[in-house]
Amino acid sequence: MDSVRQDVPKSDPPARRERVPLPLRIGERYDYFTPLEPIAQGGMGTLFKIKIHRDDFVTPYILGHILSGDLSATLVGIHGRYLLHEPEFEEEVGRRIGAVDRRSFLFQRMLSELETREPRLVEAGWIAAAKVPRHEDAVATSRFLREVRSLHNMGDHPNIVKYISCGQVGERPVLITEYFPSMDLAERIAQAPVSAESSLRIFTAVLRALHHAHGKGILHRDVKPSNVLTDGDQIKITDFGLAKPLFPEVGRTQVTMADQIVGTPAYMAPEQADARLGAVGEWTDVYQLGITMFELVTRRPMYDEDEYRARLDRMPPDEVKDADPRRLILEEVQDRAREHPHFPRDFDPTLPDELEKLIMTACQKHILERYTCELALEHAEELLRNKVFAHAEPTLAPSEERKRESRTTLILSASEAMLARHAFAEAEAYERGLSLLGRAENESDVIALADLVEEAGKALARLPRAKFGVLHARHEALAKGLEGERDDIEAFRPNRKIALEIASGYEALLALIESERFFETPVSAIRSKASALRARAAQHLERVRRTGLPERIAGRWQRQLESILHELPRLDDTLAARKAAFIRKKKEELDRAIERNPNEAAMIVLTLRRALENADPGDWGRALLAEIERDYVPRLKLGES
């Protein structure tokens, strides 16, 4: 019988031979552990086999990061129950929370999380793996902390490298996980061919791991051969360095592409390369797994950087837009009109048809044609049970024809497509509900709050309570807060609408004064608009006061009207002063330019004319305008404007 165990001789993997100074010293006793030997250098981290020598692995600094979620930029530590701005724990704590509103929902939630969460106990004498970031900059650190946070929240799964603890050595955060003497799939592929059955087992195991992570609300986003480990028997995924909350509760930091390529393009899903092609979701991990599986069964990457580099070398130099082959790969991946360049059986015709389909459905470029994680798992497990590939026979059909046929059979059945659509719609409803709730929680205007709560309710109606309990609870808390106020809210609605109009009229005036062409705005126009607005605001303020509605509903608008009434009379003065300063400056520029640069001087004269003509009559501006027409214009041979 063929099994994964037979494929791989059990042996410790060779440490990689890249010459980068190790961030930790072998044999040195650090606070909680001693590094025994280096395991590997990844792209982001350096891994060590370590021995733990203390069992009170307390991790306040890092745990603070974890719990503060995306606020890690401002919150960097905890002390007792408090979150700190700065890592000096001995600092007086309670007052240092500063920027975070202690009453805010978020803060409350962090506190309750702190109270309920027990750091995992660690025993002295344990052998474990320690990962430290290779780079010490803020971006690397915050990405690393996200990895720590994801693993910390993961819970145990046989196919995911187990989280043990985290801590810090000097300035570096350290992630401690179980030590898994193994080889990653990149090494495994290089070593010897992997049988179809082993490949399918690996496929299934990784799907189980991903399915578990997704259930915990975590996306991996960096599934590739070097992040799947095997000891010939067990399979575990690792490296949640790019992981992202599937349904981020807090903020939404995107790993943006901009000009920089983040991640490994050869394994990137189209929607990762170009956000317009769809949201990143569970399906993204499935795609990456499909590409990884392709490589496992064919022993060559779907998108080989060397191949694309060679292609670039052959291109005429003026056709090369970017010398980076990864850019070329990205372009091809993004282009959904193009199929993937290879099918597994182009390389190995004896490969079971079913396995090829499984792999190619996993890496469909269109999200809706791609497997959901659940469905892929179901099909893979079924295949594993039936051992279809036991009687696989090489097909004789020519490659092109088979591909065409394969492509049509790859399209999901109607019910499967429904499933995919459902998952997609759910994710969208979640995002919408989440963002509305977030806004509602920060909304101080009760009516806007009521509207947001209602909108969020509609989005949440599409999300099952069993799976999205937290979100529903947040919504209920908000709705409860509004109970008993419905009538007052409705009563005040028309008043609020008028107050909003007045506020936007005021904003428009401000914008006019602050605009780039403010100097063309007649002061008199501002003056008359301001006085009309003032009359309206005064009248409405009276009306609002007379409603006698509670402060929570009307107070904010009353205060806003009062402040507008207070500010309005100053607007024309502000404009007049700005104009005067502008004109003085232009006049100085004119005096400087008139000798040296007649063209520039002519432009300045035109500007000054416009500014002065819109000044108030009788103003000093009139005199200046006359002076310009008399003394400057003739020297510039300027016609009438």
Ligand X SMILES: Nc1ncnc2c1ncn2[C@@H]1O[C@H](COP(=O)(O)OP(=O)(O)O)[C@@H](O)[C@H]1O
Q: Interface with Mg ion by CB under 5 A: which residues?
A: 42, 226-227, 239
User: Does 177 contact ligand X by CB under 6 A?
Assistant: yes
Q: Which of 83, 129, 213, 590 binds ligand X (CB under 6 A)?
A: 129
226 binding ligand X? (CB under 6 A)? yes
The listed partner (Mg ion, ligand X, none) that binds 225, CB under 5 to 8 Å by sort, is none
State the nearest-atom distance from the C-beta of 342 to ligand X, in Å.
Answer: 24
Region near ligand X per CB under 6 A, out of 38-46, 84-92, 408-416, 433-441: 38-46
Q: Which does 155 bind (CB under 5 to 8 A by kind): Mg ion, ligand X, none?
A: none
CA count, 13 A, side-chain hemisphere, 591: 7
- How many residues are listed for the chain in this entry? 641
Residue 40 binding ligand X, by CB under 6 A? yes
Give the tokens for residue 607: 């500007």
Task: Return the HEC string of 29-94.
Answer: CCCCEEEEEEEEECCCEEEEEEEECCCCCCCHHHHHHHHCHHHHHCCCEEECCEEECCCCCCCCCH
Compute the CA torsion angle 570, 571, 576, 578 (nearest 10 deg). 100
Q: How many residues bind ligand X (CB under 6 A)?
A: 22
- Smallest gap from Cβ 299 to Mg ion, in A, equals 20
**Binding to ligand X by residue 334, rule CB under 6 A?**
no
Question: Which one of Mg ion, ligand X, none is in contact with 184 (Cβ closer than 5 to 8 A by kind)?
Answer: ligand X
- Give, to the nearest 10 degrees, the angle between helix 399-410 and helix 353-362: 60
Residue ranges in 533-572 that form contacts with ligand X under rule CB under 6 A: none
Nearer to ligand X, 150 or 560 (CB): 150
Q: How far apart are CA 27 and CA 38, in angstroms?
A: 11
Cβ distance to ligand X smaller for residue 45 or 245 = 45
Interaction of residue 180 with ligand X, rule CB under 6 A: yes
Cα torsion through 20, 161, 203, 247, rounded to 10: -100
In eight-state DSSP terms, residue 160 is B
**Taking the complex as a whole, how short is the minimal distance between the CB of residue 239 and Mg ion, in angstroms?**
4
Q: CB 245 → ligand X: shortest distance, Å? A: 18
Name which of 387, 390, 411 is nearest 339 in CA terms.
411
d(CA 31, CA 9): 36
Q: Which entry of Mg ion, ligand X, none binds 40, CB below 5 to 8 A by partner kind?
A: ligand X
| Residue 123 near residue 55, CB atoms below 8 Å | yes
401 token code pair: 């024809």
Nearer to Mg ion, 237 or 380 (CB): 237
| Nearest to Mg ion of 135, 566 (CB atom) | 135
**Residues 31 and 18: beta-carbon distance below 8 Å:** no
Q: Return the one option of Mg ion, ligand X, none that residue 39 interacts with (CB less than 5 to 8 A, by type).
A: ligand X
- Give me the least distance between CB of 153 and ligand X, in Å please: 17
Q: Which of 184, 197, 231, 485 binds ligand X (CB under 6 A)?
A: 184
CA distance 491 to 503: 20
Q: How far is the CB of 224 from Mg ion (least distance, A)?
A: 7
d(CA 146, CA 559): 42
CB atoms within 10 A of CB 633: 16
- Least distance (Å) from ligand X to the CB of residue 194? 16
Quick one: 43 or 469, whose CB is closer to ligand X? 43
| Interface ranges with ligand X (CB under 6 A) | 39-40, 42-45, 47, 129, 131, 161, 177-180, 182, 184, 226-227, 229, 238-239, 241
